[in-house]
Amino acid sequence: MSHLFLRTLRDDPADAEVASHKLLVRAGYVRRIAPGVYSWLPLGLRVLRQVERVVREEMNSIGAQEIVLPALLPRDAYETTNRWTEYGDSLFRLQDRKGGDYLLGPTHEEMFALTVKGEYNSYKDFPVTLYQIQTKYRDEERPRAGILRGREFVMKDSYSFDLTDEGLAESYRAHRDAYERIFTRLGVEYVIVSATSGAMGGSASEEFLADSPAGEDTYVRCLESGYAANVEAVKTLAPEPLPIDGQPEAVVHDTPDTPTIDTLVAAASTILGREVTAAETLKNVLVKVRRPGGDWELLGIGVPGDREVDDKRLEASLEPAEVELLTEADFAANPFLVKGYIGPKALLANGVRYLVDPRVVDGTSWITGADEQGKHVFGLVAGRDFTPDGTIEAAEVRDGDPSPDGAGALVSARGIEIGHVFQLGRKYTDAFAVDVLGENGKPVRPTMGSYGVGVSRLVAVIAEQQHDEKGLRWPAEIAPFDVHLVIANKDEQAREGAENLAEELSNAGVEVLLDDRKASPGVKFKDSELLGMPLVVVVGRGFADGTVEVRDRFSGEAEELPIGEVVQRIVNR
Ligand code: ATP
Ligand code: MG
Q: Which of 20, 457, 412, 18 is nearest to 193 (CA)?
A: 412
- Inform me whether the pLDDT recorded for 233 exceeds 90: no
Cβ of 454 below 6 Å from ligand 1: yes
Between CA 201 and CA 565 the distance in angstroms is 59
Cβ of 136 below 6 Å from ligand 1: no
The pick from 87, 109, 159, 420 for probing ligand 1's pocket by mutation, whose C-beta has the most ligand atoms within 8 angstroms, reads: 420
Q: Mean pLDDT, the chain, as a whole number?
A: 93
Crossing angle for the helix pair 42-61 and 455-466, to the nearest 10 degrees: 110
Whole-number Å distance, alpha carbon 420 to ligand 1 midpoint, is 8
Cβ of 35 below 6 Å from ligand 1: no
Cβ of 450 below 6 Å from ligand 1: no
What band does 319 get if pLDDT is binned at 50, 70 and 90?
A: confident
Residue 503, number of CB atoms within 10 A of its CB? 12
Between CA 558 and CA 541 the distance in angstroms is 15
Is it true that the peptide bond before 70 is cis, omega within 30 degrees of 0?
Answer: no
Tell me the pLDDT tens digit for each residue of 66-98: 999 999 999 999 999 989 988 889 999 999 999
What band does 260 get if pLDDT is binned at 50, 70 and 90?
A: very high
| C-alpha separations of 449 from 119, 289, 453 in Å | 18, 29, 14
The pick from 38, 155, 197 for probing ligand 1's pocket by mutation, whose C-beta has the most ligand atoms within 8 angstroms, reads: 155
Cβ of 36 below 6 Å from ligand 1: no
Between CA 478 and CA 493 the distance in angstroms is 33
DSSP string over 478-499: T-S-SEEEEE----HHHHHHHH
Whole-number Å distance, alpha carbon 107 to ligand 1 midpoint, is 10
Residue ranges of the chain that CATH labels 3.40.50.800: 483-572
Cβ of 418 below 6 Å from ligand 1: yes
Q: What residues are paired with 486 via a beta bridge?
A: 515, 538
Between CA 31 and CA 8 the distance in angstroms is 11
What pLDDT does 144 receive?
A: 86
Whole-number Å distance, alpha carbon 123 to ligand 2 midpoint, is 34
What pLDDT does 196 receive?
A: 66
For residue 96, give the 3-state DSSP assignment. coil
Ligand nearest to the CA of 216: 1
Residue ranges of the chain that CATH labels 3.90.960.10: 251-391
Judge contact between 93 and 103, C-beta under 8 A. yes
Whole-number Å distance, alpha carbon 32 to ligand 1 midpoint, is 19
Between CA 250 and CA 372 the distance in angstroms is 15
Between CA 506 and CA 504 the distance in angstroms is 5
Cβ of 107 below 6 Å from ligand 1: yes
Strand 296-304 to 217-222 pairing: unpaired
Nearest atom within ligand 1 for CA of residue 150 = 28
Ligand nearest to the CA of 418: 1
Judge contact between 353 and 323, C-beta under 8 A. no
Whole-number Å distance, alpha carbon 147 to ligand 2 midpoint, is 13
Residues whose CB falls within 8 Å of the CB of residue 356, separated by 6 or more in sequence, listed in order: 282, 301, 302, 303, 382, 388, 390, 391, 392
Tell me the pLDDT tens digit for each residue of 9-61: 999 988 888 999 999 999 999 999 999 999 999 999 999 999 999 999 999 99
| C-alpha separations of 365 from 102, 242, 378 in Å | 55, 9, 8
What pLDDT does 292 receive?
A: 82
**CA-proximal residue: ligand 1, atom 23 (nearest):** 454
What pLDDT does 15 receive?
A: 85
Does the domain at 251-391 match CATH 3.40.30.10? Answer given as: no
Ligand nearest to the CA of 218: 1
Q: What percent of the chain has pLDDT over 90?
A: 85
**CA-proximal residue: ligand 1, atom 13 (nearest):** 452
Cβ of 417 below 6 Å from ligand 1: yes
What pLDDT does 544 receive?
A: 87
Whole-number Å distance, alpha carbon 237 to ligand 1 midpoint, is 29
Ligand nearest to the CA of 457: 1
What's the start-to-end Cα distance of the chain, in Å?
A: 25
String of b and e for 196-209 (b: at least 16 CB within 10 Å)?
bbeebebebbbbbb
Judge contact between 63 and 36, C-beta under 8 A. no
Cβ of 155 below 6 Å from ligand 1: yes
Cβ of 139 below 6 Å from ligand 1: no
Between CA 183 and CA 531 the distance in angstroms is 22
Whole-number Å distance, alpha carbon 140 to ligand 1 midpoint, is 10
Which helix H or strand E contains 304, and what residues bound it? strand 296-304
- Inform me whether the pLDDT recorded for 197 exceeds 50: no
Average pLDDT estimate for 479-485 = 97
What architecture is domain 483-572?
Answer: 3-Layer(aba) Sandwich (3.40)
Tell me the pLDDT tens digit for each residue of 204-219: 889 999 999 888 888 9
Q: What residues are paired with 298 via a beta bridge?
A: 288
Return the minimum-mean-pLDDT range out of 197-201, 398-402, 559-563: 197-201
Q: At CA 442, angle to CA 441 and CA 444, rounded to 5?
A: 120
Nearest atom within ligand 1 for CA of residue 107 = 10
Task: Count CA within 13 A, CB hemisphere, residue 413.
Answer: 20
Residue ranges of the chain that CATH labels 3.30.930.10: 19-234+412-464
**CA-proximal residue: ligand 1, atom 25 (nearest):** 149
CATH class of 19-234+412-464: alpha beta
Reported residue count of the chain is 573
Strand runs (DSSP E) across 326-458, as ranges?
Answer: 353-356, 365-369, 375-381, 390-391, 410-425, 436-437, 443-444, 447-454
Tell me the pLDDT tens digit for each residue of 361-386: 999 999 999 999 999 999 999 999 99
Task: Count CA within 13 A, CB hemisphere, residue 291.
Answer: 3
What pLDDT does 287 receive?
A: 96
- Inform me whether the pLDDT recorded for 202 exceeds 60: no
Whole-number Å distance, alpha carbon 230 to ligand 2 midpoint, is 14
What pLDDT does 203 receive?
A: 59
For residue 418, give the 3-state DSSP assignment. strand
Cβ of 419 below 6 Å from ligand 1: yes
What pLDDT does 410 receive?
A: 93
Average pLDDT estimate for 351-357 = 96
